[in-house]
Amino acid sequence: GQNIDQPTEMTATEGAIVQINCTYQTSGFNGLFWYQQHAGEAPTFLSYNVLDGLEEKGRFSSFLSRSKGYSYLLLKELQMKDSASYLCAVLDYGQNFVFGPGTRLSVLP
């Protein structure tokens, strides 16, 4: 079966660093994506990992370990506008995107 797990909610303080974890079990693996979704809006692409290791993009970094079925999204220097849901998704062999339930991040002043 397909299963992706993420924490439901997280809270952090403005200026801090937060790590959002994602574990997955899917029928095949063609890459892992992270999306950001503000309330009432569509998800927007943040990052993509297909090889093990860390990908850095400004304040956001994403890490992948294929052997452990594990990824994390690291957000540095948190800003109020980072309050959103963060979705982890795996592209399986059937070219389907399997999504986790999303993690709602609240950034407090």
Partner 1 sequence: DVKVTQSSRYLVKRTGEKVFLECVQDMDHENMFWYRQDPGLGLRLIYFSYDVKMKEKGDIPEGYSVSREKKERFSLILESASTNQTSMYLCASSFRLAGSDTQYFGPGTRLTVL
Query: Quick check: 102 binds partner 1 (CB under 8 A)?
Result: yes
Nearer to partner 1, 42 or 58 (CB): 42
Q: Which of residues 26-85 bind partner 1 (CB under 8 A)?
A: 30-31, 33, 35, 40-45, 48, 50
Query: Quick check: 95 binds partner 1 (CB under 8 A)?
Result: yes
Q: How open is the CA angle 18-20-23, to the nearest 5 degrees?
A: 160
Measured CA distances, 87 to 35, 38, 45 (Å): 5, 11, 9
Nearer to partner 1, 87 or 105 (CB): 87
CA dihedral 26, 23, 9, 48 (to 10 degrees): -80
Query: Quick check: 106 binds partner 1 (CB under 8 A)?
Result: no
Classify burial at 70, counting beta carbons within 10 Å of its beta carbon; exposed 0-12, middle 13-18, buried 19 or more.
Answer: middle
Nearer to partner 1, 31 or 76 (CB): 31
Nearer to partner 1, 13 or 106 (CB): 106
Query: Rule CB under 8 A: which residues touch partner 1?
Result: 8, 30-31, 33, 35, 40-45, 48, 50, 87, 89, 91, 95-102
